[in-house]
């Protein structure tokens, strides 16, 4: 297949590109040009927020599948609907567990907890402001999904990705946050009643996205490994790697450490399982993921 990947130049995106290439697909990367494409892969340079530039660089082109790794706002989704409406038969949007951030459920949440038809889309908000977009990350993804879901011009799916762990190239700094504090025995701020969450290994989410490219299902799908993890689970593994001691400090309000949650919105991955994907269990890869990111005992 002829596959266009928008973004795809770091973390699990670059692993996705490698897997698609290994499977024999023809891959084209589209990004702003801040980094090049691997040898042998076509590279298109355009700002995905610039509709005119996209139309120009894609003139005369069509693709079997588009994988959008960097759609964060409803404004970006609307541009993609217009630009790719006649240029692809399938569109895979990488979304996030954070679309459920307003939930607080005693049981893992399924995809239909978010009614995309009822999501209010507001493209007039300050989506071009990086600080606003980061603060409203989950809302931006939710509204982007709603734009695609409304009578999509192509077969469309959003892959709601759990919190990703692993890889020496983990740029988030979340596990390093714990490594520094555990090593020094410094307090780690967590909310009162800290809740478990669902996670996925970096290699596994790349494999799931590659599988979704070749599949035919549509609509949202939750993607995560079996076995939710607590902040204590993460820190216990960090302790094994860096030494030190975990000291949690519960706070009723204010800023808390990453990967600690006052709300419970672990996802239910049964739809993906019914569709034929077999996820691993977090116990199978947690030690490896932590070792890759924070290193062995230092």
Residue 297 is predicted with a pLDDT of 41
Residue 296 is predicted with a pLDDT of 59
pTM, full prediction: 0.95
Residue 10 is predicted with a pLDDT of 82
- Residue 155 confidence (pLDDT) above 80: yes
Q: What is the pLDDT of residues 15-47, one digit of tens each?
A: 999 999 999 999 999 998 877 778 888 999 999
Q: What is the pLDDT of residues 242-267, one digit of tens each?
A: 999 999 999 988 889 999 999 999 99
Distance CA 135, CA 295 (A): 30
Residue 298 is predicted with a pLDDT of 40
What the block records as the tokens of 10 is 């770091």
Residue 68 is predicted with a pLDDT of 97
Picking from 145, 167, 176, the residue whose alpha carbon sits closest to that of residue 13 is 167
Helix (H, G, I), strand (E, B) or coil at 101: coil
Q: What is the pLDDT of residues 50-106, one digit of tens each?
A: 999 999 999 999 999 999 999 999 999 999 999 999 999 999 999 999 999 999 998
């Amino acid at each position: 297949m002829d596959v266009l990947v928008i973004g795809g130049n770091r973390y699990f995106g670059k692993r996705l590109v490698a897997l698609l290439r290994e499977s024999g697909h023809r891959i084209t990367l589209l990004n702003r040009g801040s980094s090049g494409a691997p040898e042998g892969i076509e590279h298109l340079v355009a700002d995905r927020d610039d509709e005119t530039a996209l139309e120009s660089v894609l003139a005369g082109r069509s693709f079997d599948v588009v994988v959008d790794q960097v759609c964060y706002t409803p404004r970006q989704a609307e541009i993609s609907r217009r630009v790719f409406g006649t240029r692809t038969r399938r569109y895979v949007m990488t979304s996030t567990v954070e679309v459920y951030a307003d939930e607080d459920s005693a049981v893992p949440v399924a995809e239909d907890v978010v009614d995309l038809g009822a999501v209010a889309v507001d493209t007039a908000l300050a989506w071009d402001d990086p600080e606003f977009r980061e603060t409203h990350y989950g809302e931006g993804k939710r509204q982007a999904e709603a734009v695609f879901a409304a009578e999509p011009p192509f077969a469309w799916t959003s892959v709601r990705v759990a919190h990703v762990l692993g890889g020496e190239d983990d740029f988030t700094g979340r596990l390093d946050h714990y490594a520094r504090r555990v090593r020094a025995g410094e307090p780690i701020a967590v909310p009162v009643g800290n809740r478990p969450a669902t996670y996925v290994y970096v290699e596994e989410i790349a494999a799931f996205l590659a599988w979704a490219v070749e599949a035919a299902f549509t609509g949202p799908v939750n993607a995560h490994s079996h076995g939710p993890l607590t902040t204590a689970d993460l820190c216990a593994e960090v302790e094994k790697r860096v030494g030190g001691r975990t000291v949690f400090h519960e706070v009723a309000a204010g800023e808390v450490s990453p990967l600690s949650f006052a709300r419970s919105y672990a996802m239910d991955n049964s739809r993906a399982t019914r569709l034929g994907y077999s996820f691993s269990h977090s116990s199978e890869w947690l030690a490896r993921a932590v070792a890759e990111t924070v290193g062995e005992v230092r």
